[in-house]
A = this chain, B = another copy of it.
Amino acid sequence: MTEKLVLHEYALSGNCYKVRLTAALLGLPLERREYDIAKGETRTPEFLTKVNPNGRIPVLQVGERFIPESDAAIFFLADGSELIPDDRFERADMLRWMFFEQYNHEPNIATLRFWIAFLGTSQLSDEQRALLPAKKAAGEAALKLMDEHLERRSFFVGERLSLADIALYAYTHVAEEGGFDLAGLPHVGAWLERVANSPRHIPITA
């Protein structure tokens, strides 16, 4: 990697943590620039024009170019490395879990963590409050599906750590902050420990 890598982020976001964790596992240096999303710092005209027209973090800056979307950013970092399977089927299967994460997992588990642990339930709008039961149920279904998949596996794809694990680890390991109970999911619990014990692993607070 000859171009400088800069992560535009809000450090407590699991999506941003994915990028830091992938860079750490690969030994890649990463500069960091923090934005206060509560103050609208990712919605300024400059951010929307230069960094991400979608007004969201993380964004990985590669030289003077920008990659929004956490799972695209970690694919860029890991392209050609052992974190992406060589096998064609396994490579697609890895992406299958990454798309599952963004469609079935993150909108429920990350959103409830943000609403409950960051905003606080007393600050929620009526619309957000009405969505709580559906998001809780959908998040629990995603976690249960993961637990069943891991019953006879060490990692999500190909029996070794890949981007699928990193994408799903980011918000699963802090799911209890959003009110999810992991106690009844022993295979998820064992997998979380396995990921946390990987060489060069860093915590979300690093």
Contact = CB atoms under 8 A, between A and B. Distances in A.
Interface of A: 53-54, 62, 65, 67-73, 75-76, 79-80, 88-89, 91-93, 95-96, 98-100, 102-104, 106-107, 127, 130, 134, 145, 148-149
Contacts of A65: 89
22 contacts: A54-B104, A54-B145, A62-B89, A67-B92, A67-B96, A68-B100, A69-B95, A69-B96, A69-B103, A72-B92, A72-B93, A72-B96, A72-B98, A75-B95, A76-B91, A76-B92, A79-B88, A79-B92, A95-B95, A98-B99, A103-B103, A103-B107
Q: How many identical subunits does the complex contain?
A: 2
User: Interface SS of chain A: helix, strand, loop or mixed?
Assistant: helix
Contacts of A149: 53
